[in-house]
Amino acid sequence: MNILDHIIKDKRKEVALKKALIPVSQLERSVLFARDTLSLAKALRSSPAGIIAEHKRRSPSKSVINQSLNVQDVAKGYENAGVCGMSVLTDGKYFGGALDDLLLARASCNLPLLRKEFIIDNYQIWEAKAHGADVILLIAAILTITEIKQFSELAKQLQLEVLLEVHNEAELHKSIMPSLDMLGVNNRNLKTFEVSLETSKALSSLIPDDFVKVSESGISSIEAIKELQPYGYQGFLIGENFMKTDNPGASATQFINDLGL
């Protein structure tokens, strides 16, 4: 089993436990469930920089990135930096995140929030809405076409946008459907964890222009963004680059200033 298989196996157990504890009807009564969501796709289309900044404490490939910061400060810092949106990792076991991180980010900023999670069940989409998310991530590598359709259509019903992540041409071809808003190309090979921007370049021409193109993983320099913009990418997900510093908001501000767009 590779790391992704382990994550999904644990995620199925975790979701089953949560479903037994908190029914969907309770999630629907959440204060945040009725709020109007913000559009990340629109923010990316109208921004010259297109930065989605991430809150991530650790990862299976890098172990600890930053355990000492609180989410409120990170969210405020990112908003002040002028990013387009914030990605919040909510997986506990492998990434040190929590749904509470999403709640705290929502209370601290007015950015579109992406729930970064391994979604394998409708329940997690209701959860995302109840905890203040505006966007959900769907990962093509772990889902069937039927699941992608089902999950993205439920997200639409709940006024959530969908960022679908692919790693190769086969995943891209099975995934393109009208219920998606953004298509993300992950430059990290999930089996080897190697990163190459060539993945984004190779897949760019296969993504229809109806979708906002987002490049993910391995974007740690101004040069990387300038290299990918001619390929039609309007969104760039940056996590470790900001989170490994003492002040992610300040480093995001510096990064956006250095882009000079």
pLDDT in tens, 76-111: 999 999 999 999 999 999 999 999 999 999 999 999
Q: Is the pLDDT of residue 119 over 80?
A: yes
> Which band of pLDDT confidence, cut at 50, 70 and 90, is reported for residue 143?
very high
The number of distinct structural domains making up the chain is 1
More confident position, 180 or 2: 180
Out of 3-7, 51-55, 57-61, 244-248, pick the least confident.
Answer: 57-61
Does residue 247 carry a catalytic annotation? no
Please pick, among 116, 117, 152, 187, the residue that the annotation labels catalytic. 116
Q: Is the pLDDT of residue 65 over 90?
A: no
List all residues 6 or more positions away from 163 whose beta carbon is below 8 Å from its beta carbon.
40, 114, 135, 136, 137, 138, 180, 181, 182, 183, 184, 214
Please pick, among 79, 127, 216, 240, the residue that the annotation labels catalytic. 216
Q: Is the pLDDT of residue 66 over 70?
A: no
Region 132-150: mean pLDDT is 97
Please pick, among 66, 108, 152, 217, the residue that the annotation labels catalytic. 217
Q: Is the pLDDT of residue 16 over 90?
A: yes
**CATH code (residue 221):** 3.20.20.70
This prediction's pTM: 0.95
Region 55-73: mean pLDDT is 77
Does residue 161 carry a catalytic annotation? no
Please pick, among 79, 117, 127, 165, the residue that the annotation labels catalytic. 165
Does residue 186 carry a catalytic annotation? yes
Q: What is the pLDDT of residue 62?
A: 67
> Which band of pLDDT confidence, cut at 50, 70 and 90, is reported for residue 63?
low
What residues make up the domain containing 219? 3-259
